[in-house]
Structure formats: C-alpha cells, structure tokens
Amino acid sequence: MSRVFLIWAVTHSVKEVQSEDSVLLFVIAWTITEIIRYSFYTFSLLNHLPYIIKWARYTLFIVLYPMGVSGELLTIYAALPFVRQAGLYSISLPNKYNFSFDYYAFLILVMISYIPLFPQLYFHMLHQRRKVLSGTEEHKKFD
C-alpha cells in the first residue's frame, strides 16, 4: 500500500517533486527489490532456487530497505510545502458534512509512522535472514 500511496498520492499528485533525486532513490530500491523478489518466486516455483537468488533476497534488503525508506521520506518531505500551499486533498470546515481533513498534517503523520514501523519490519527481515541463510537444523524445523 505504501507504494501506491507514494506513487499516486504523493509523486503523481505533486508534480513538483517528480524531478527530485529522492524519487529516483526509492524507484531504484523498489525496482531492484522486485527483480530479486520475483526471481526468487519464479525459481522457487520451478523447484530450482539458485543460492545467489536466495542470498540476494535475504541480504540486499540490508541496503535497499533503508535506501527506499529514505527516498520515500525525502519525497514526502519535499511535497509538504506544495501540499500546504495548494491545500491538496484537504477539506475545510464549514461544509455540509461537518468534516475536515488536512492532507498536510496527514503526510506528517505518515512520516512519523515510519519511526515505529521501519525498525520493526527491518529487524523482522534480519531475523528471517538468519533463519533462512543459517542452514542449521534448529531453524529448519520451524520452516
């Protein structure tokens, strides 16, 4: 969902950020990640998973995940002034629904949500890496 959000609700909606280096950063990280992920799935389905693909799936995230998250956060941050100025996707009171929404504040909350979520997901992947690449019998019985 974060990819759809970043592509549509930030990068597509705020044209001014489309030329930011941060967009290139997350697009490169996502692209490499997906090439590795789908190669892993394909070879697994064929019951012929080369170790290099398995290793790449459980190792390259160490660099790619922080790279992608950095690109995402920098892109959202770059979009903030434009969102505020244009009032993009914001709904002000008064209106017939008696409801307001501030997209600028929402983007800030999204950025803050990375603080608890990123370490949790990153350390989960590190744990998976140890489990999958260790090859010990203790870890194999949990697969």
Which one is catalytic: 65, 77, 89, 114?
65
User: Exposed, middle or buried by CB within 10 Å (0-12, 13-18, 19+), for 137?
Assistant: exposed
| β partners of residue 91 | 101
Confirm whether 103 is a catalytic residue.
no
In degrees and rounded to multiples of 5, residue 91 shows phi and psi of -125, 125
Q: Which of 20, 58, 72, 103 is catalytic?
A: 72
Distance CA 99, CA 61 (A): 41
Cβ atoms of 2 and 29 closer than 8 Å:
no
CB 90 within 8 A of CB 104: yes
Catalytic site residue 89? no
The residues carrying an active-site annotation are 65, 72
